[in-house]
Chain A
Amino acid sequence: MSNKQRVLVIGNGMVGHKFLEAMVNSPQYSAFEVTTFCEESRIAYDRVHLSEFFCGRSADDLSLVEPGYYEQHGIRVLLGDKAVSIDRSAKTVTSEKGEVLSYDKLVLATGSFPFVPPIPGHDRDNCFVYRTIDDLEDMQAAAKNSKVGAVIGGGLLGLEAAKALVDLGLETHVIEFAPRLMAVQIDDGGGAMLRQKIEDLGVKVHLGMNTQNIGDGDERFHKMSFADGSEIETDMLLFSAGIRPQDALARDCKLELGERGGIVVNDHCQTSDPDVYAIGECAMWSGRIYGLVAPGYKMAQVACDHINAEDNAFSGADMSTKLKLMGIDVASIGDAHANTPNAKEYTYVNGTEEIYKKIVVSADNTRLLGAVLVGDAADYGTLLQMALNDIPLPEFPDALILPQRDGNGATGMGVDMLPDGAQICSCNDVTKGQLCQAVSDGATVLGDLTLATNAGTSCGGCKTLVGQVLNNELEKMGLEVNTDICEHFPHTRQELYHLVRVGEIKTFSDLLAQHGSGYGCDICKPTAASILASCWNDYVLEPEHLGLQDTNDRYLGNMQKDGTYSIVPRIAGGEITPEKLIVLGEVGKKYNLYTKVTGGQRIDLFGARLEQLPQIWKELVDAGFETGHAYGKSLRTVKSCVGSTWCRYGQNDSVALALQIEHRYKGLRSPHKIKSAVSGCTRECAEAQSKDVGIIATESGWNMYVCGNGGMRPRHADLFATDLDTETLIKYTDRFLMFYVQTADRLQRTSTWMDNMDGGVDYLREVIISDSLGIGEKLEAEMAKVIDTYQCEWKTTIDDEEKVLMFRPFINSNKADSNVVFVEERGQIRPARKDEKELVSA
């Protein structure tokens, strides 16, 4: 037996995992041997984002553990095995499967379990709780045969569960015993506003209802009977009536518990047995149990430090929360119910926009104690910081929540006033000082800053504030964020786009004369060419556009390392007739081109010299091919699987849709290349979720995914809209692509474009689906114009003798470039290396 210290963890939930991570990162990790019990069939996953399971996030996506992490660090996981008893005198734990493990230190991270009120009938079929992925899978299965769903409990979790029922397509009821929603976090006024907003969304809210019996329904599966004699029928029933600490093991081995449960711990998270720790939702510190993840994370670190004999203490945590419930912003800060003696309140109610805001201030009107925000939680970050950091209030505190209509700018305070120690991101414990440090270390855009510090990566509640800290720092550093695209234009790509469109500018020289200086460069010229093409869609080789194009665009081919070009004809959707396939073969043979199938389901012909391009294209165009735009920053391919026409799994004709989309957007010039794919069913053979626009057929339409990409930093696309008919899908795609073309930065793929957008995919949905900016029709009209003016650039080129002349190798000679030399490999050509060239010319 090794002489390592044995650390045993019971429970592999969010906090249990955090503890394991903390151990791995501790300096003496090699001195420990760590084992964890994991009751669930999955290792730790993100419970906070559990509901996203219903919006397309898979169990794998939710996982908190990098694949191989535990193995790599020698952590043993008893997956699907539960600890059933603890023998504190022998220092052993026995598992359900009968393993007996001994420990030096034991950590309880058993979390909570959902409380199910003992109403008669609570154990009928089709009754659920909302805590684990397994629960959600059961719900999902039951929802298939259900029309109506009801949630018992109108608290934070209950409303989230209700949202899940809405997402599953059920008529949804929320039944709450108390006279208002979210009784713990918000007050009557806020609760009333929240109810109104939720009912606007079609959810039926029943308050003050005491459920007395659940029995067989007449129309639906269950009938709930209430104390007031009323009844509601439903197919599914979800209990969300609170959580209870999972303290059974501790109780059995006689650790000290709180009066109403919870394992009592001290400031080091030790229980009444100094070798046993408890962390997370099962622990009770100073009479309190914290039902949030951030305090649990803090406890995990404290326990780990204590085991490592390092100084750290748990000193309580703030329970303020901000969340989006069914798209509605709700936030609660500190003493939301004004329980502090003599506290005063200020309230702002806007009935039209359905906004409720309240602040609670100290008796002397100088300190903020708490707040409730419903409908608009933009002030959350600022208010929270004021409360936490004891920042003096302005003379008229109500100014903090009154709308600023006169454009006089912010009242309260800037982030500048916050001390460096102010915690900006509570989920990941990131302070203002840490953010500032990261900014001065070079993280000067929001994306980099979150990457560098983790701030904003969990609940996202702090993102606005993180952005404000960033801007404030940049301003202070005198580092006004320079977003100019290059020395010739003091503008971003987006600004240039607007200047071109609004000023109806048609040429680069006009743009330069009106808005720039110098002669331009290899950054602004291709950018301008792309913008001009997206706006006016002129033939790219008109003399005034000629000098702007990257060489790929200028010669309508992809330049390879030896100066030759590759040729990629369009094979829309990857569908090609045998006749056309033969043409490609013949052309490849005739011009001795290297031939390869691309990742985008097309065929690439390599090794064409400049002067060969027009001849080769003439043959291709005559055979019915058109340019594939592989050389441009534009729509590339729309990959497809074979779909319902042939495939026995197919739900819909993915090939036909891919063809329609590819032909619709072909030639659209954009800030970066755009890729798309269509799969005929959820098996996803076309890998649509790795594309800028991915489409997957469902039983009842198409699911649309956006902003994925492969490449260096792969990113799964986000589910954007579900079960669309083809017309709506095309409408959204028109708007999405045009919005991207108009507002993205140079060389920004859709994913970074969206990630840098305040509000991310939700905001994008508002713009594209709800048309919140009122630009939907305009975007569609502009797209229609691009589509109408499409031309195959190669056809235009070979029809024009003067243009063909531009492909001469030399202006004064037709001799081929003697520096282009090929050798043969695997039966095809490839560029000769330098040593091989020397051999040839010797």
Chain B
Amino acid sequence: MKDPTKNVQEDNVTTDQNWISICALEDLPCNAGVAALLHADTPRETQIALFRTSANDAVYAISNFDPFSEANVLSRGILCSIGEQLAVASPVLKEHFNLATGQCFEDESVSIATFPVKIADGNVLVAG
């Protein structure tokens, strides 16, 4: 299996962005994460973590893979605000990742993939 993080970055380079419909907006719990699967059963299979925040009623998508614990767990982390920025805390070792940029707060050299999200007709679409 390939490292899902790397996988996505390659995708971004090829820029063949398709909007993939994930679920209805109302299926997402507020201020908590869920996992979603892109390109299931293909070589491009990728896990993402979706967060819907009531704060600015936005939805963020980041990689579900926590590079520190090497497990797919970020969707199960707690949503945080750090100053003005929104972040998720990994449930395993508690590193924080910026929801908008994927940047890790504790280690400058680490960042994870983020994915564009749009809401259309009450559905959540992710580009990937």
Contacts and interface: CB of A to CB of B under 8 A. Distances in A.
B29 A818 contact: no
B80 A819 contact: no
Contacts of A509: 54
A818 B91 contact: no
Q: Tell which of B28, B86, B89 has the most Cβ of chain A within 10 Å.
A: B89
Interface string B16-33: 000000110001111110
B53 interface: yes
Contact of B73 (A520, A543, A551, A813): A551
B29 A546 contact: yes
B73 A811 contact: no
Nearest to A551: B91
A555 B76 CA distance: 9
A522 B94 CA distance: 8
Interface string A474-506: 000000000000011000000000000000000
A812 B29 contact: no
Contacts of A488: 81
A834 B70 contact: yes
B77 interface: yes
B47 A811 contact: no
Interface in B1-58: 1, 22-23, 27-32, 34-37, 40-41, 45, 47, 50, 53-55
Interface string B64-94: 0100011111001111111100110101101
A590 interface: no
A547 B30 contact: yes
Nearest to B29: A546
A812 B23 contact: yes
Contacts of A554: 32, 76
Interface residues of A, number: 40
B57 to A, nearest CB: 12
Given A810-B37, A812-B37, A562 B71 contact: yes
Contact of A519 (B28, B41, B65, B86): B86
A336 B89 CA distance: 62
Given A559-B92, A815-B40, A818-B45, A519 B81 contact: yes
A552 B94 CA distance: 13
A521 interface: yes
Given A546-B29, A811-B27, A520 B81 contact: yes
A713 interface: no
B71 A518 contact: no
A527 to B, nearest CB: 11
A563 interface: yes
A547 B32 contact: yes
Q: Which of B31, B92, B96 has the most CB of A within 10 A?
A: B31
Nearest to B53: A519
A819 B92 contact: no
Contacts of B32: 546-547, 554
Nearest to A610: B76
A488 B89 CA distance: 15
A559 B73 contact: yes
Interface string A589-615: 000000000000000000000100000
A561 interface: yes
Nearest to A546: B32
Nearest to B2: A841
Q: Is the interface of B mostly helix, strand, loop or mixed?
A: strand
Nearest to A548: B78
A817 B72 contact: yes
A574 interface: no
Contacts of A837: 1
A235 interface: no
A16 interface: no
A815 B92 contact: no
Contacts of A155: none
Contact of A522 (B34, B73, B80, B86): B80
Most chain A CB within a 10 A radius of its CB, from B23, B50, B72: B72
Contact of B40 (A520, A547, A813, A841): A813
A819 B32 CA distance: 22
Given A559-B92, A563-B73, A819-B1, A811 B78 contact: no
B94 to A, nearest CB: 6
Contacts of B89: 521-522
Contacts of A838: 1
Contacts of A487: 82-83
Contact of A521 (B1, B40, B55, B82): B82
Given A519-B55, A815-B41, A561 B30 contact: no
A521 B78 contact: yes
Nearest to A562: B71
Contacts of A811: 22-23, 27-28, 34-36, 50
Interface in A533-574: 543, 546-552, 554-555, 559, 561-563
Contacts of A548: 78
Given A811-B34, A815-B41, A547 B79 contact: yes
Contact of A812 (B36, B54, B81): B36
Nearest to B79: A547
A806 B22 CA distance: 16
B16 to A, nearest CB: 20
Output the residue of A559, A806, A811 with the most chain B CB within 10 A: A811
Interface in A398-441: none
A629 to B, nearest CB: 18
A189 interface: no
A519 B79 contact: yes
Contacts of A546: 29, 31-32
5 contacts: A518-B83, A521-B82, A554-B76, A561-B69, A815-B41
Closest 7 CB pairs of A and B: A521-B80, A551-B91, A547-B31, A522-B89, A547-B32, A519-B81, A563-B71
Given A487-B82, A547-B32, A817-B72, 14 more contacts: A509-B54, A522-B80, A526-B78, A543-B29, A546-B29, A547-B78, A551-B78, A552-B91, A554-B32, A561-B69, A562-B71, A809-B37, A811-B34, A811-B50
Interface of A: 487-488, 509, 518-522, 525-526, 543, 546-552, 554-555, 559, 561-563, 610, 806, 809-813, 815, 817-820, 834, 837-838, 841
